[in-house]
Amino acid sequence: MEKAYKLLAFQEGISNGKAKELIDKGVVTVMGKKIQVARGEMKEDTVFKVKDIANARVIFEDDDILVVDKPAHLNSQEVEKKFPQAVLLNRLDKETSGVMLLAKNEDFRKKAINEFKNNKVYKEYVAIVDGKIVEEEIIDLPISTIKGKTARSRIDELHGKPAKTTVYPYMVEGKKSKIKIIIENGRTHQIRVHLQYAGMPIIGDLQYGKPSNQVSRVMLHSKVTRILGYEFQAKEPKEFFHFGF
């Protein structure tokens, strides 16, 4: 037996540090199952599969704003580093893909942050969840977050901050549903926590949702964002078509 990251490093001909990074990003699987613990002990003949990570694609750019379609498995700070001329306006979870905004000057950044604070930004997501969702549902429950190496959020009616999520049914295929989600507030892990609480956990979400051997990511995508007269859209990635939708 040997630690997973050391076996991966040997198999791929990379450094131990790079191997740990790939496992932490969630792109390493064995027999279809995502490896979650880099230091976990595994058999020495284990064969790993490493998923390629796409590049962040620029959707739109002008003198004020830079908009990218963030791929899954890149965190928001990594995307920001790729565009040194701009600073983040919003963040997406590591395994969430889609529209992400960066400001190119301080004046626009202040205006945009004010729009976020006053809930004037339209944020539409699409997700694939476990369960048959056929009716609109509003989840208006406060959320609190404990931040550490890995953030953890929960419904907290005593100490939580306001959070509102509206779910619209799109399609049902077997025991899974594709849904549209519109959020206000935008708390850490808001959609994932609210959907878990409402009994419609997101497929591929190992922290709050439903594990799946078909995908190695959370099936959540930021599809449409409207801010200060702009509208941006990002098409759903190919993983969203693995489930027959």
Alpha-carbon distance 224 to 101, whole Å?
11
User: Nearest 5°: CA angle at 169, between 209 and 92?
Assistant: 50
State how beta strands 97-103 and 65-70 pair. antiparallel
- Residue pointed to by tokens 């830079």: 66
The radius of gyration of the chain's CA atoms, rounded to the nearest angstrom, is 19
Q: Cα dihedral angle (71, 72, 75, 81), rounded to 10 degrees?
A: -20
Paired with 172 in beta bridges are 177
Alpha-carbon distance 200 to 203, whole Å?
9
Q: How far is CA 75 from CA 24, 53, 82, 103, in A?
A: 11, 11, 11, 17
Alpha-carbon distance 129 to 141, whole Å?
19
Q: Is 93 a catalytic residue?
A: yes
Catalytic residue among 69, 93, 130, 205: 93
| Residues whose CB falls within 8 Å of the CB of residue 113, separated by 6 or more in sequence, listed in order | 89
Active site residues per annotation: 93
